[in-house]
Structure 1
């Protein structure tokens, strides 16, 4: 009867096995796709989290080395006090201490350590003082007489102290004054020109009259 009215039963068995195999392949493909999708989603999530963490850490990192007492540069996430004090010492040595031979060089170096705002205020005066020093053979010495006091403000770092200023010509001191000094330091992006990563942004002095 089966041979007369339809295909042999073995063909149906072959077709059934083929459909079953195809179904199994489809199921396996779907399973693999789901697994791969899950793995990709996990990797994307991990990468996103790493990027977010890296951005957070970048805000805490300092991409600049500050010298310690041994002169070794160490990366820190805040400007250390020793660096501020070293900068102030170098700035004052150039701004206030000079001889007739070094007056112009010192004035130029002091201006290089200033912000554009402070330079606009001090440039003419520094040039006049340097010229007087060279022409009249004036030597000036600035000696700090109190410890540095450092305050952190939204504007920058305020360094205050007291100092004596001596002026001499031909090895004879002709002027001696005592001052209260306040120096505002402003952080800047480090570069070849601003290798200290800070500049002097304001300078206030008040003579102490006994």
Structure 2
């Protein structure tokens, strides 16, 4: 006698398989991130030293990457893990009036580059997030950062991609776009943890300038 699996059960099994595939891709991305821990230590330390000298962080991305860029700047202006002073960090996509005005007047490829030229100074850090590494507006922003003397770091998907090739340093992760984007948030939290620890060690236990 053949037992027919109810449609609901078959649907549930298909959904479970989809989720398991997603988790497997996520684990691949996290495994890739473990190999990037030394880079994150170097970035967090360097970023703290720069911002303590009065430099600024500019961050940007499109879609979900924009949300993660804004998450990063919120952690820097606010705090991540324990008390410390606030530091200057701007998510360039968050100024909707500037974004829409620039896009209207100059085209969407210029929405970040023009702001980098306006806000960026020598010694600042520009962080760009992209799962594909192919967004024209991010590539234009890298060129703008170079003209003002800012350092560029990218978090993106696996190599090769144009953004990883264009920036000063890139943290590239394997996996699907969703898995890479989720793991980018983990990478940012690791970066912030190093940043906060470095700031406190430079300022002393009180964490005040």
Judge same fold: TM > 0.5, yes or no: no
Report which of the two has the higher share of strand.
1
Larger radius of gyration: 1
Identify which of structures 1 and 2 has the higher relative contact order when contacts are C-alpha pairs closer than 8 Å and 6+ apart: 2
TM-score band, normalised by the shorter chain?
under 0.3
With normalisation by structure 1, the TM-score equals: 0.27
With normalisation by structure 2, the TM-score equals: 0.27
Report which of the two has the higher share of helix.
2
